[in-house]
A and B are shown apart, each in its own frame.
Chain A
Amino acid sequence: QVQLKQSGPGLVQPSQSLSITCTVSGFSLTSYGVHWVRQSPGKGLEWLGVIWRGGSTDYNAAFMSRLSITKDNSKSQVFFKMNSLQADDTAIYYCAKNEERGFAYWGQGTLVTVSA
């Protein structure tokens, strides 16, 4: 069955970078893209970016200068990296599988706190 499992740190120092790995199973990254979404405490969902099956990327313009999404198809892993984190980047970060019908499969979420 389709699964997306996230791994990454829970605590990041201000001005440091955040790296999260999304390891997928049940589908190939050469056939489907993977999106990244975050949710700040008590707030809504914010789309961050996507890596398409061919390897190209699209980013939310607000984060384009400090966001990078890459992948390793052979390892079924997608890598999310955001630089220069500040307190308002504290959020739950999710990866989600791209399908024409929307985001039917999500990772479990990574709670990231930005604090010294």
Chain B
Amino acid sequence: DIVMTQSPSSLAMSVGQKVTMSCKSSQSLLNSSNQKNYLAWYQQKPGQSPKLLVYFASTRESGVPDRFIGSGSGTDFTLTISSVQAEDLADYFCQQHYSTPRTFGGGTKLEIK
């Protein structure tokens, strides 16, 4: 199974600050046949189902604000929020959709100061 490791487990930022969170996989998520990294990021607000933010490591889902930026390749990935807003208070999870089982990282809890 591919193990997904996220860091930090939590962080507290002020509105307007830049936020960076990391996700590392135990195996490469790069599909050599199409050069896509099968890594997705989800946002989960309290009491809600997870919401897909970014897929293929860097492609923003339709309707997701452009302050959410996914990057990385292979085994190291990053989700950046360029200027965090109060409504970004949530848990963020990465997931590999390269193979089954579709494993998730442990999550990063974002708190707003």
Interface residues in chain A, defined as those with a beta carbon under 8 Å from any beta carbon in chain B: 35, 37, 44-47, 50, 58, 60-61, 94, 100-104, 106-109
Contact between B105 and A44 (Cβ–Cβ < 8 Å)?
yes
Contact between B100 and A50 (Cβ–Cβ < 8 Å)?
yes
Interface residues in chain B, defined as those with a beta carbon under 8 Å from any beta carbon in chain A: 1, 40, 42, 49-52, 55-56, 59, 61, 93, 95, 97, 100-107
Q: How many Cβ-Cβ contacts under 8 Å join chain A to chain B? A: 57
| Chain B hits for A47, CB < 8 A | 101-104
Contact A101/B40 with A44-B107, A46-B104, A50-B100 known, Cβ cut-off 8 Å: yes
**Cα separation A58 to B1 with both chains bound (whole Å):** 13
Interface centre among A61, A101, A108 (most CB of B within 10 A): A101
B8 CB to nearest chain A CB (Å)? 14
| Chain B hits for A104, CB < 8 A | 52, 55, 61
| Chain A hits for B1, CB < 8 A | 61
Contact between B104 and A44 (Cβ–Cβ < 8 Å)?
yes
Across chains A and B, which 4 residue pairs bring their CB atoms closest together, nearest first?
A102-B40, A101-B55, A106-B49, A45-B104
Contact A101/B56 with A46-B104, A50-B100 known, Cβ cut-off 8 Å: yes
**Cα separation A46 to B4 with both chains bound (whole Å):** 12
Residue of A nearest to B99 (CB): A58
| Chain A hits for B107, CB < 8 A | 44-45
Partner of A45 from B52, B93, B100 at Cβ < 8 Å: B93
**Cα separation A61 to B1 with both chains bound (whole Å):** 10
Can you spell out 8 A-B residue pairs with CB atoms less than 8 angstroms apart? Answer: A61-B1, A94-B49, A94-B50, A100-B97, A101-B61, A103-B95, A103-B97, A104-B61
Residue of A nearest to B107 (CB): A44
B89 CB to nearest chain A CB (Å)? 16
